[in-house]
Structure 1
Amino acid sequence: MTKPYPWYYRPLNWLLRGLAHLPLPLLYGMAEVIYFLLAHVLRYRQKVVLQNLRNSFPEKPETEIRQIQKTFYRHFAQMMVETLKLAVLPAAELKRRVWFSNPEVLERHFAQGRTVLGLSSHAGNWEWVLTSGAVWLSAHADGVYKPLSNPFFESFMHQLRTRTGAGLIPMRDTLRDMLQRRGETRVVSLLSDQAAGPEDRPYWTQFLNQDSGFYTSADRLAARFHCPVVYVSIRRLRRGYYQIILTELYDGDSPLPANEFPITEAFVRHLERDIRTFPADYLWTHRRWKHQRPASEVIRTQNPEPRA
């Protein structure tokens, strides 16, 4: 349950909900204004975006880097209005716009009454993935998330994300939730591309030509609760339409090696392939590489191709 927010946020709430009722074509017109402000006036995190792109794609010329940057800002602005539209978007319309191409990858585990971990990322429109999953899938869909510090935006985003029936699990409560609901038929979605700090005991590997630390929750939870794990690929087909492609990373039964993180490594390789294919659709404003790998850590140098 979200905390109540101060009364002076009510006009903002009315404004946002009023804007959400506008047709998507009008909202996309607003997105062009937002794009111009972000990219050319405010230059929102421009240095971070350019540094991330240059470090991730050292082989690309500067002209291509600048074009990816421009396309990213436009996509980012469109995603903002699409997220706002969740406040009123009918479930049937959401299902039409987000296509799960192979839901049977999850459904066969649901038929066995299992909990499945879905590893997603900040690609495409990640806010539409969980909400559409609650519409597409036969089992319940929960998402692990980090609550916002502002009480109004936490309440507003919570309502948007749960409106189609999905549930939310605060990150700090993940293990407790898994223990209390052990054996429940559902999918638990994890945004697994976030930067893990030193206190999180990250798994270090090469990701987009850079030392990168990743949370190891997927491997730990899968080993403890025997959960199958699925990679969730989010691909933008065109403005306002997305395709979800599911790839099984772990069957939930095979032994997992101790003190190794093959599920996380497989996730990284799949995500890297997707980003290289659709570079402008990733969240480049995020300071993904803000942590440095300790000198004592041994880093994996081989980057095998992900299995289909």
Structure 2
Amino acid sequence: MQQFIYRFLFFPFFYLISLIPLRIMYLFSDCFYFVTYYLIGYRKKVVLDNLHRSFPEKSPKEIKAIARKHYRFFTDSLFETLKKLSISEKELRRRVEIEHYAEMYQLYKDKHSIIVVMGHYGSWELGGARIGLEEGHPLICIYKPLHNKMMDQLFLYIRTRFRGEVVATKNTPRVMLANRNRETAIVFLADQTPLLLSNSHWVKFLNQDTPVYRGTAQLAQKFDYPVVYAVVRRPKRGYYKVSFEVLTMDPKSLSDLEISRRHTRRLEEDIIAQPELWMWTHRRWKRAHQKPKDVQAVV
């Protein structure tokens, strides 16, 4: 019954919405922003608390200005993600530009698999799709399955339209082993709260003690894959730029703590530069109080 609902009601409904031109979608987004920020106040306290702790030097007026910009971007990104259901390759290339890709492509030609580290920053959904159009590494995106089965199925379709695979977090080591003999890019969204604090580093991130999942760095060392940081910036509404930076070509020469520190620091720099693009609705520091007293967060 669930599959019937998904196939004949749920998916067609969202697909039809995705056919609306993006310029019209943004009008809907403006209305949804007003409802979300002013009427419902969706996670408004979480957003404001996160911003106050992250930017203690900013005034309440400045914090509220960032929050409003964030909610505008947040509602835009919901409609942009839906647009991925039907967006053409030509339109995707026009709206999302790839920068500094030569080094990435050279790694592919040199037969290096890589680990790509991103954050919930900018339109990682559109950015990931656009990367998939480039000649080079096939993408394997690591994700946490959604609890709602129909939404999970919808997002699986969205994320695999453009030469991408998705793999549940728990299956990551097995899939990396299975693909050991071909050049792949394993993509992690590395700013999520770790499930196991025992397998975490504590890093100073946006002025707060923050647990960072060690597994990304440990897998880079285990498989000896170069680590690349990717970011999706937004120069103006409806347009994005994806850029890359190699953090290390030799992960075994670094501690897993140093690898974690590097990608966390790069994300922090991008957030400070354009804070409204990060996912402030996420309770990123909900477990900060569980930091062991004898552990010092690394700067």
1:144 matches 2:142? yes
Identity of matched residues, %: 31
Q: SS in structure 2 opposite 1:52?
A: helix
CA distance in structure 2 between the aligned counterparts of 1:41 and 1:153, rounded to whole angstroms: 25
Q: Which residue of 2 aligns with 1:276?
A: 272
Deviation at 1:136, TM superposition (A): 2.0
Which ranges in structure 1 are unaligned for 5 or more consecutive residues? Answer: 304-308
**Counterpart of 2:207 in structure 1: which amino acid?**
N
Quick one: structure 1 residues 253 and 283, their matched pair in 2 at CA, closer, same or farther if it must change by over 3 Å? closer
Deviation at 1:171, TM superposition (A): 0.5
Deviation at 1:17, TM superposition (A): 0.8
Q: Which deviates more from structure 2 when the two are superposed, residues 7-16 or residues 212-221?
A: 7-16
What root-mean-square deviation, in Å, do the aligned CA atoms of Structure 1 and Structure 2 show?
1.5
Q: Which deviates more from structure 2 when the two are superposed, residues 170-179 or residues 90-99?
A: 90-99
Quick one: structure 1 residues 282 and 139, their matched pair in 2 at CA, closer, same or farther if it must change by over 3 Å? same
TM-score for both structures, normalised by structure 1: 0.92
1:168-247 equivalent positions in 2, closer than 5 A: 168-199=166-197, 201-247=199-245
**Counterpart of 2:153 in structure 1: which amino acid?**
S
Deviation at 1:199, TM superposition (A): 4.5
Q: Which residue of 2 aligns with 1:121?
A: 119
Quick one: structure 1 residues 256 and 183, their matched pair in 2 at CA, closer, same or farther if it must change by over 3 Å? farther
CA distance in structure 2 between the aligned counterparts of 1:209 and 1:80, rounded to whole angstroms: 29
Deviation at 1:150, TM superposition (A): 1.2
Q: Check conservation: 2:113, 2:137, Cα contact below 8 A.
A: no
**Counterpart of 1:27 in structure 2: which amino acid?**
M
- Aligned pair count? 297
Q: Which residue of 2 aligns with 1:295?
A: 292
CA distance in structure 2 between the aligned counterparts of 1:224 and 1:232, rounded to whole angstroms: 21
Q: Which residue of 2 aligns with 1:251?
A: 249
Which ranges in structure 2 are unaligned for 5 or more consecutive residues? Answer: none
CA distance in structure 1 between the aligned counterparts of 2:290 and 2:109, rounded to whole angstroms: 42
Deviation sequence 1:12-52 (CA, Å, 0-9, x none): 32221111001111111111111111101111000100100
Q: Check conservation: 1:113, 1:183, Cα contact below 8 A.
A: no
**Counterpart of 1:98 in structure 2: which amino acid?**
V
CA distance in structure 2 between the aligned counterparts of 1:195 and 1:57, rounded to whole angstroms: 20
1:6-85 equivalent positions in 2, closer than 5 A: 6-9=3-6, 10-85=8-83
Q: SS in structure 2 opposite 1:179?
A: helix
Q: SS in structure 2 opposite 1:284?
A: coil
CA distance in structure 2 between the aligned counterparts of 1:200 and 1:149, rounded to whole angstroms: 24
Deviation at 1:200, TM superposition (A): 5.2
**Counterpart of 1:85 in structure 2: which amino acid?**
K
Q: SS in structure 1 opposite 2:253?
A: coil
Q: Which residue of 2 aligns with 1:306?
A: none
Q: SS in structure 2 opposite 1:246?
A: strand
Q: Check conservation: 1:130, 1:142, Cα contact below 8 A.
A: no
Q: Which residue of 2 aligns with 1:111?
A: 109
One of 260, 263, 269 as aligned partner of 1:264: 260
**Hey, which of these two has a bigger chunk of helix by percent?**
2
Deviation at 1:91, TM superposition (A): 1.4
CA distance in structure 2 between the aligned counterparts of 1:142 and 1:93, rounded to whole angstroms: 23
**Counterpart of 2:13 in structure 1: which amino acid?**
L
